[in-house]
Structure formats: structure tokens, C-alpha cells
Structure 1
């Protein structure tokens, strides 16, 4: 993959605090949004450009790292509600690991957009369930499936930075959802090591992941690890 892009030219004009760089005014907020769109397009294009074999290998490695992390953090997945995702746009495929966890007693869920620009809901994903097409034609459990509250949320990354902040697909759904939850779950951002950025220029609505995991393992962040 080509080297990561340099920070935008306005980087020195940003305030830097414990939560990262925050734009001083509305124009800089627009600049950050424009930069994010460009990086999102670049990184998504690079990810889609991976061969089928490479993506399968990287997905396998990521599942191995996730399995080890969850084993270290918990006394087992039995009885825990784990929210995964259905891979789109070249995202890494965690479904074999999710099915393994379900066989070990975990309850699986998938995120669903029921209302645009609102928090996601999580519907139970049971073995053998017939999925339906949801927003953007992403397969989701049917409306009859039980809504659940996840203990662990696996969130796909387009990009990420050392503070644990994620660059997603641009809808803001995960940030909006996590902000609305009364008891924050364990959040794990999952993606490519090559998608690491110097910063995503986090803003007030951005919520850092508890952990970032790539095919190379658990990545250190500036935030205290929990």
C-alpha cells in the first residue's frame, strides 16, 4: 500500500488537548470533514484493492488476535452479548469467529439502522436466522428478532489513530449509538494496520474505542486501557 498521507496543511492551526486536535472555528470543522472524506475514500479504495486471498488471510489473523484479546479480558464468552457486523466495502470478515463464539454460548447481534441519523439498534442474530436487506442493502436480522444490549461491540474501521479514535464510513452511527448507551460496552475497533493515521482530528462527538485490534495485534493508544 502507498504511504499514509501527510496531515492537512491546517494542522498547526488546531488546538491540541487531551482528547486530540479540536478545530477552533466552523471553517476548520468543515476542513476537517473534507479531509476525512478524502482519507475515507483513499483508505476504502486501498482496502478494496486487496486480493481475495490477502483479505482472507488478514481476516484470519484478525480473528486470531481478537480471540486472544477476548480470552485475556474475560472468563469466557458464554452468556455475553457480542455485536459484530456484516462486512461491506472490503471490510475484514469476522463471521467465522462470531459463529465460533456463538457455539461457545455467546449471544450474537448485528447493528441495524431503523431510523436514519439516529442511534443504531442491535438485533439478535441466531443460528439459521434468515436475514433481510437493511439500510444500504446490508443483511440484518428481521424486525421480529429480539433487540439486545451488547456487552462487547466490534466496530469496523476505515482508519484509526493512536488515541483510539476511528474513521468510519461517515454516517456517525457508532459514535451516536455509544453516546446514547447508559452503560458503555467494551468497544473494539477492528481494521487494517496500514489504515493507521497520525490523527483523525477528533472532535467533540467522536468516541474513542477501548481497544484497537489489527492483523498485527492489539495497538497501543494514548487513552488508558481498560
Structure 2
């Protein structure tokens, strides 16, 4: 089995090549709305944690719009500084980036005065995943720590099909996902 650092580099390269080969208008269409079984997990009035995609990550904007139009509140990760614990804060208008600012890790995040929210369901970015829900993240451990501290939150991954691998090196703190959604398939128990 490969070490995490070299595996991340290989999977990021594959993801970048895959995304670069798609017409720009196509990538958002592939994640236009959540599958019915996934949407049902986040009932009306629930809080849905998403991420603002960067560097070829599976896009979340269309999911954010769909959930907002269907009575769910949207929250994005928020960091006060590099190394600070991750929180989720309200993203009140997923149809625009107003109210968002560049966070310490380069991703857009809500402003510091946005309401802190606690997602019922959290869509988690990833670099790689296995069919049984193991996840290789960016390497900072933010989601693993947050999910470990919030065990009642259902964690779902969004990924491109090229990010699926047969196995991943794991550590005791790695938090598995309930399911992973790709453009062609839903992996997991939903």
C-alpha cells in the first residue's frame, strides 16, 4: 500500500486531468441535484454542511442551490486562522458569493459574523475514497476532528469517479463516510 502523501499527489493529478478534460459547463451539471435518497436524509428545515469547492474538487454550488430552494439551511466550513478548529457558519445566499471571504486555507468561507450552525448532514471534500466509505482528505485532519467531535452528523462524500481506489492507508482518527456520491454512482448504505 502506498503512503498517504504519494497517494494524495497521484489522486490529485488524476482528478485535475479528469476535471480539465470536462467542458466547464459539464462539471456543474454532473452534480446538479442530490440523488433522491440523499436528499431525503436532509429533511426540510435541516442544516446541510457543504464546502466551497477548490482545486478540482467535486462542485457543490448546484447542491447548495437545490437544498436552499427546498427549505434547508446551508452552512460552510469556517476557520478563524490556520490551525484553528473548523466550525460551520451560515451561507445565506448560495446563488452568489456575497457574504463570503477568502479563509486562511484559500477557500471561500462565510464572514466571521455569520451565524454558527451545526449540520445534520455534512458533504465532505476528499482526495480519494473506497467503496466502503474510507476517505483520504487533504491532510489537515479538519473534517476528521470535526466529525469525531460531532458523531451524530451524517458524513457524505462528493467525488469524481476517478477518485475511487481499492484501499487506503488508515489511522485510528480517520472518520469513515456513510456514502460517497459520484456522477455515475452512489456508494454506501443509504
Same fold (TM over 0.5): yes
> Over aligned residue pairs, what C-alpha RMSD do you find?
2.0
Judge conservation of contact 2:15–2:162 (CA < 8 Å) in 1: no
Aligned to 1:90: 56
Segment drifting more, 111-120 vs 191-200: 111-120
Q: Following the alignment from structure 2 to structure 1, what is the Cα–Cα distance between the partners of residues 64 and 31?
A: 12
Structure holding more helix per residue: 1
Q: Following the alignment from structure 1 to structure 2, what is the Cα–Cα distance between the partners of residues 97 and 187?
A: 15
Among 180, 190, 203, the residue aligned to 2:171: 203
Judge conservation of contact 1:55–1:92 (CA < 8 Å) in 2: no
- Structure 1: any 5+ residue segments left out of the alignment? 1-6, 9-34
2:115 equivalent to 1:149: no
Residues 1:122 and 1:179: Cα distance change in structure 2 (over 3 Å) = same
- Structure 2: any 5+ residue segments left out of the alignment? none
How far is 1:48 from its partner? 1.6
Judge conservation of contact 1:152–1:186 (CA < 8 Å) in 2: yes
Aligned to 1:132: 101
SS of equivalent to 2:172 = coil
Aligned to 2:129: 160
Larger Rg: 1
Question: Alpha-carbon deviations, 1:161-192, whole Å to 9, x = none?
Answer: 133111111101100001112x5211101101
Residues 1:197 and 1:55: Cα distance change in structure 2 (over 3 Å) = farther
Q: Matched residue pairs, number?
A: 186
Judge conservation of contact 1:118–1:173 (CA < 8 Å) in 2: no
Judge conservation of contact 1:123–1:146 (CA < 8 Å) in 2: yes
Describe how 1:1-226 pairs up with structure 2 within 5 A: 7-8=1-2, 35-49=3-17, 50-51=19-20, 53-54=22-23, 56-64=25-33, 66-73=34-41, 76=43, 78-127=44-93, 129-181=98-150, 183-220=151-188, 225=189
Aligned to 1:15: none
Question: Alpha-carbon deviations, 1:133-185, whole Å to 9, x = none?
Answer: 1112211110110000000100012100133111111101100001112x521
Give me the TM-score of the superposition, normalised by structure 2. 0.88
